[in-house]
Amino acid sequence: MTLSRRTFLQGAAALPVLGAMPRLATANMALGSATLTTVSDGSLMLPGSFIFDPMPKDELAPILAQYGQDSERLTPECNLALYRDGTNTVLFDVGSGPDFMPTAGTIVDSLDAIGLAPEDITHVLFTHAHPDHIWGLLDDFDEPLFYEASYMMGRAEWDYWWNPETVNTIGDARAAFAVGAKRRMEAIEEAVMLFDDDDEVLPGIAALSTPGHTPGHMAFEVRQGTEAALIVGDAIGNHHVAFAKPGWESGSDQDGITAAATRQMLLDRLSQEQMALVGFHLPDGGMGRAEKEGSAYRFVSA
């Protein structure tokens, strides 16, 4: 099956609206005197082919069975990381907003549940510009929702989506992604701050280039003294196949070969250093650790 925009949208629309009322529970960890929390933006409804199409079906089936994962339907959580150090209140990505999927776009309610309003966010750092990460940028009046925040994005990611040729080269399935990203980026064009790999973008937060899912995808290492966590965005996109077979190409990645190499690098590092990780689409709030099991890995929730 070749994924087109039509098959993607038809597949998602055919799925039952399961869990339309989002789980607002959060996951938390302390990093020195700072705190790292995840806040829910709801969940997605995706056809299994969106990820599984390029994978060998005979080897895939037992892995999905092991994890109780349906091959036809994916309903991943959307977990936005929130970092508070007493000075800055930093949100990583902004979620889907109201225009992507009916089960997503709940970030304002989730923030309210922990006593925060959009104006309390001092900085927004983007991992990348796919719809479930940037379409929540604008409010009902097409103004930035987090209006007191400074916006920051990796230079390579900004340049990719800003390029007028991207909509023509990204493929039919993702053409709307490009249009939607550009419209939202135009709203912050005059104010956005760009950064590069290995830059310390804020005190205690360093950028790490993790390309493949998108050309300029960024992860972030958050560190206070000897305590650290890695916010991986969609560079590790699920808790099953991504850990069991990190070298397999995934249909969700724009460059499957590069994404697989990035995923392997991240899992090697995370398991060796036993560093906490936060994944946008990982379960139970997205926080946990990667444990090595032979040539594979396993996600252990926090």
Residue 107 pLDDT: 97
Residue 26 pLDDT: 73
Residue 22 pLDDT: 45
Residue 19 pLDDT: 40
Domain count, the chain: 1
pTM score > 0.85 for this model? yes
Q: What is the CATH number of the domain that holds 122?
A: 3.60.15.10
Q: Which domain holds residue 132?
A: 5-301
Percent of the chain surpassing pLDDT 70? 92
Residue 24 pLDDT: 53
Long-range own/partner contacts, residues 24-30 (CB < 8 A, 24 or more apart): 24/106, 24/109, 24/110, 24/113, 25/285, 26/110, 26/113, 26/114, 26/285, 27/79, 27/284, 27/285, 27/286, 27/287, 27/302, 28/287, 29/229, 29/276, 29/287, 29/302, 30/227
Segments of the chain with pLDDT less than 70: 1-25
Residue 27 pLDDT: 87
How far is CA 64 from each of CA 52, 59, 68, 280, 289, rounded to the nearest angstrom?
10, 9, 6, 20, 20
Average pLDDT, the chain: 92
pLDDT in tens, 119-137: 999 999 999 999 999 999 9
